[in-house]
Amino acid sequence: MKAESAREAVLGRVRRALRDTERTPLSAVPRDYRSARPQADLVSAFCEAVADYQATVDRVAADEVVSRIAGIARDAGARRLLVPDGAPQAWSSALGEEFELVDPAASTAVLEQVDAVITTAAVGIASTGTIVLDHGPGQGRRAVTLVPDLHVCVVTEQQVADDVPAALSGVDPARPTTFISGPSATSDIELNRVEGVHGPRTLHVLVAPSL
């Protein structure tokens, strides 16, 4: 028997077996594995997981966000900052007094001269220490979070979700999403860590009660 004929014979038997099998509706997938940790515990777990990825994370009061951003940029020697459209206006107003603010729609060539980008986030995942951007207001297009060397991301406590399913339930699947777990890094064949290959070498996360 030729190989093709044997294949068709086997598939034919499978089809006949399936045809005679009673179809039963799929039952709902149980979700009782999900935890119900208090939000305060989720925020603490998120901060610990972010730090495990060699990112810097600070918890700050809402009225300290702008001054902390300025301090981070100053300590990094950053002069040219990019604040995406949709971020709190107070950020641009205050930072513009000390730093040069770059047009959020700048070309990639201009982005290469940007020292730091300041963004909000869509959600933070406590179990993995991951920040999810859906590039909505305040988050900028994907290029602005990949090209500058320093990324300062502000996450509110209410945005922290327990796990990946919980996080994705609050993200629009029609929007592009970027998952960030620590600063950009990879390893060569000798397992030497190299940072900044495909994104910022430095990730600084600020967790605040609100924006």
Convert the pLDDT of each residue in 186-211 to its tens digit. 777 777 777 766 778 999 999 999 98
For the chain, the maximum distance between any two Cα atoms, rounded to a whole number of angstroms, is 82
The overall average pLDDT reported for the chain is 89
Total domains in the fold of the chain: 1
Q: Are 99 and 82 in contact (CB under 8 A)?
A: no
In a domain, 64, yes or no: yes
State pTM to two decimals. Answer: 0.80
Measured from the Cβ of residue 138, the count of other Cβ atoms closer than 10 Å reads 20
Q: Kindly state the average pLDDT of the residues 76-95.
A: 97
Q: Kindly state the average pLDDT of the residues 12-37.
A: 69
Convert the pLDDT of each residue in 132-168 to its tens digit. 999 999 999 999 999 999 999 999 999 999 999 899 8
Q: Are 66 and 145 in contact (CB under 8 A)?
A: no
In a domain, 3, yes or no: no
In a domain, 103, yes or no: yes
Helix or strand holding residue 141 (H, E): none
> Any idea what the CATH number is for the domain that residue 127 is in?
3.40.50.10420
In a domain, 11, yes or no: no
SS3 197: coil
Q: Which two tokens stand for residue 138?
A: 């305040």
